[in-house]
Amino acid sequence: MKYITFTVPCYNSQDYMRRCIDSLLPGGDDVEIIIVDDGSVDATGAIADEYERLYPGIVKAVHKENGGHGSGVNTGLELATGIYFKVVDSDDWLDEEAYARLLGKVKGFWAKKETRLIGEIPDLFVCNYIYDHLDEGKSRVMQYKNVFPIEKMCDWNDIGRFHASQYLIMHALIFRTEVLRRTGVVLPEHTFYVDNIFAYQPLPHVEHIYYMNIDLYHYYIGREDQSVNEKVLMSRIDQQIMVTEIVSKCVDLNEVKEIYPKLAEYMCRNIS
């Protein structure tokens, strides 16, 4: 059984993808790692094949024509066999200790589910993430202990208020694969910033949330060609506008408000 599917979309990632993949391997046979080579022209594909050869049954290398980050996520979700699904960008990585705690909790929930000791399992795990400015030797943790009860099952009516700087971005989220598929989320190809859709559209379909106050995901900041680099953002403002329009139309917030008013408030602020 695979408890978590990690999808690693890669495009010309030869210089940093090993750090990412190596951080996922401690999950062993309990996880699957799908490396999606998105039409790379460097050694990315060969590195992916190397990992698949060294770790059969754990790592799967997929080679496809270039379609952008969203296409890589779509491919991973189509192939995923894990109970949970997480995207890890090829220049990012997971903290080993926090990863072990998360995987242990996932396995524990599923063991109780299988023996019918509990009736429900989380549709969404939320963990902290870290902005890592490695080149500057700086980091900043983004956590949610003011929003969610710590290590207690809850729903959207149990949450607190988000601070102005707090958003549920893709790096903080581990969705149940079945829930993602039920939402029908498909990310646009050849488009940047589509992770905003991934972290928004499925939220009303989540009934049970479990927050762990652990610093799991290291979000690397510093490459000049990163999509979040200010100059790159300015040059692609049309794509940001397009994604925001998609986000604003993919969920009926009036319907959400009837069931989860706090979630509707957060989602409205997210769009704005």
The model carries a pTM of: 0.94
Higher pLDDT, 145 or 240: 145
**For residue range 43-65, what is the model confidence (pLDDT) as tens digits?**
999 999 999 999 999 999 999 99
- Which residues, 6+ apart, have CB-to-CB distance to 244 below 8 Å? 196, 271
Q: Would the pLDDT of 223 be above 70? A: no
Predicted confidence band at 231 (pLDDT cuts at 50, 70, 90)? Answer: confident
The helix, strand and coil proportions of the chain, stated in percent and rounded to the nearest 5, come to: 40, 20, 35
Q: Which of 18, 38, 81, 79 is nearest to 194 (CA)?
A: 38
